[in-house]
Chains A and B, each alone.
Chain A
Amino acid sequence: MEKIVKGKAFIFGANIDTDQIYPGRYLELTDPKEVGKHALEGADPNLVKEFKPGDIIVACTNFGCGSSREQAAITLKAIEVGAILADSFARIFYRNAINLGIPLLVCLKIHDLVKKGDRLTVNLITGEVVNESTGAKAQAQPLSDYVMKILQSGGIKPLIRKQIGADA
């Protein structure tokens, strides 16, 4: 896991549900590259054209609410999101994203400090967020030890492989 993430901010509001992150009509797709073509299409159809690996998603409350579809996390991993900062995350999305090694940070009111296109630097260990475009700083809540362990392993899959001796 990279400790420091730098990227351009893409801004979303409250209650961005998984149908907006990954519309139901694409759920039959199974190739992550194909899944990645529709990232956040329901909220911003142009996002995938502008988004660069490492860029950062900033949202208000309850990001990822709704369906349990892991494709919502897979699609954001496929576009190589650097981190997602929000006031809060929906539970299943949170687990799905962490399991795939996507850093999610709860950062209250971050939405007020960032506008689209601002360049952010996020320290995933300390939770420090710096808006390099404005100089504003914010402090995200630290990740729990359990979640940090999953992220530092690169997601749950390497952890389970180790646990069951699949790599031995």
Chain B
Amino acid sequence: MHAIEKILAKAAGKDSVVTGEIVNCRVALGEVNDIYLQTVRSFYEMGGKKVHDPKKLVFIMDHYAPASTIQQADNQKQFRDFCREQNIELFFDVDQGVCHQAMVDNGLVYPGMILVATDSHTTTHGAFGAFGTGVGATDMAVIMITGKLWFRVPEIIRFHLTGTLSRGVFAKDVILRIIGDLGADYGIYKGIEFTGPVLKSFNVSERMALCNMTTEIGAKTAYIQPDEITLDFVRTRVKHDFKVFTTDPGYKYAAEHTYDVSRLKPQLAAPHSVDNVHPLEKFIGTPIHQAFLGTCTGGRVEDLAIAAKILKGKKVHRGTRFIVVPASKGVLLEAMARGFMQTLVEAGATFVTPGCAACLGTHEGILAPGETCITASSRNFPGRMGSTKAQIYVGSPASVAAAALEGKIADPTGYLD
């Protein structure tokens, strides 16, 4: 069995599972964010009275942090009331940042767990050897009532990463290239595992970006076998006991791909699809109105560090807005302690509250018709960050910072000597 299958089998109380089987699994942690008031509605519509286990739920106010309309404020208020009534102690208010980073910062994510969240980017937690997957509100309400959810045991596809990354090229570029090569629907319903020597050069932040973006190829979950890099990270944060599962020798993957990343150059997903991926050099000189650095994909300390390196002592190009959103409170505190926020704000960055911000087109950096944005977030769908007549390019944090500096799409490599 694959490690993912072993996680599902254990949570279903079974010795083994097979691909395609429907299993009903105990969920170690269910996470709800603030665009999903429907979770509470569905909970009551299904006859829920008390949640199955208040310690296995976390509610995070991140998509509207802090509220910018009366309706958003009222939705968040209803969440606060619900959590108080249900004795849910893990309630993270608008100070904590994006759910995926806030859960990691707070030691809630560990190898071998099943983590289900009302957010598509829950694949992120494969970086820790967890089974992370996104669902909608009513599926989450089923978890709130029963503590369990059904899953189809997925086929698993392996991406083996070899070679050495060039300067200016990051995990984000690798995953963009993969999505571009295979298409946004290649991984629907599938589990995606990353293996290979390149992982040793990826810190936890890079691994999270890699797994995060498997959502954009349709994946159900992602997986990186925990190693010393993982364990060093989780041991200092996680208090929960955990078990690391390993894949049996001879496990047959549904497909295997090997990527030699040595010749890879910085990549961009061009408007209006995440699989419209080309080398960044094809777009050099494209004027940029807004550069956006942040979110659960590209707002971690290492991402802010790269941007600070590129912009230290320089100024954001006149006419370009550089919006910086640390992924979480933890990221913001560390970025301040290390001087990155100081550097970026002095350079002309506009700093907004840790959270999802403009990534999903709700607030804090909405695009006007005719504007062009480069973003370190995950998506460039029509209208994703505001007007459907805006253009969005998705790239690495380094590519975003280089564009903020030059006011146009630029190769970050030369700024990283």
The interface of chain A, by Cβ under 8 A from chain B, is 14-15, 17, 19-20, 23-25, 27-30, 42-43, 61-62, 65-71, 73-74, 88-92, 95-96, 99-100, 144, 146, 155-157, 160-161, 163-167
Contacts and interface: CB of A to CB of B under 8 A. Distances in A.
Contact of A68 (B45, B72, B135, B382): B135
Contacts of A28: 35, 64, 69, 71-72, 75, 362
Interface stretch (B87-95, B182-190, B230-238, B246-254): B182-190
B119 interface: yes
Nearest to B273: A15
Contact of A20 (B63, B75, B146, B381): B381
Contact of B138 (A43, A100, A144, A165): A100
Q: Tell me whether chain B's interface is mostly helix, strand or loop, or mixed.
A: loop
Query: Which A-B residue pairs are the 10 nearest by beta carbons?
Result: A166-B47, A70-B136, A62-B185, A96-B136, A24-B361, A24-B360, A70-B137, A68-B134, A160-B46, A28-B71
B66 to A, nearest CB: 13
B118 interface: yes
Contacts of B38: 30, 70-71, 74
Contacts of A160: 46-47, 142, 145-146
A132 to B, nearest CB: 30
B46 A166 contact: yes
30 contacts: A15-B185, A19-B360, A19-B361, A24-B360, A27-B35, A28-B35, A28-B71, A30-B41, A42-B382, A62-B185, A65-B184, A67-B120, A69-B36, A70-B136, A70-B137, A71-B38, A89-B188, A90-B218, A91-B189, A91-B218, A91-B220, A92-B135, A95-B135, A99-B136, A99-B138, A146-B22, A156-B142, A164-B47, A166-B46, A167-B47
Contact of A17 (B37, B64, B381): B381
Contacts of A161: 46-47
A69 B35 contact: yes
B185 A30 contact: no
Contact of A27 (B63, B134, B273, B388): B63
B45 to A, nearest CB: 5
Nearest to B388: A42
Contact of B45 (A67, A96, A157): A157
Interface string B36-75: 1110011001111000000000000001100001011001
Contact of A19 (B118, B139, B381): B381
B59 to A, nearest CB: 16
B384 A24 contact: yes
A29 B184 contact: no
B358 to A, nearest CB: 9
B154 to A, nearest CB: 9
Interface in B12-47: 22, 35-38, 41-42, 45-47
Contacts of B42: 157
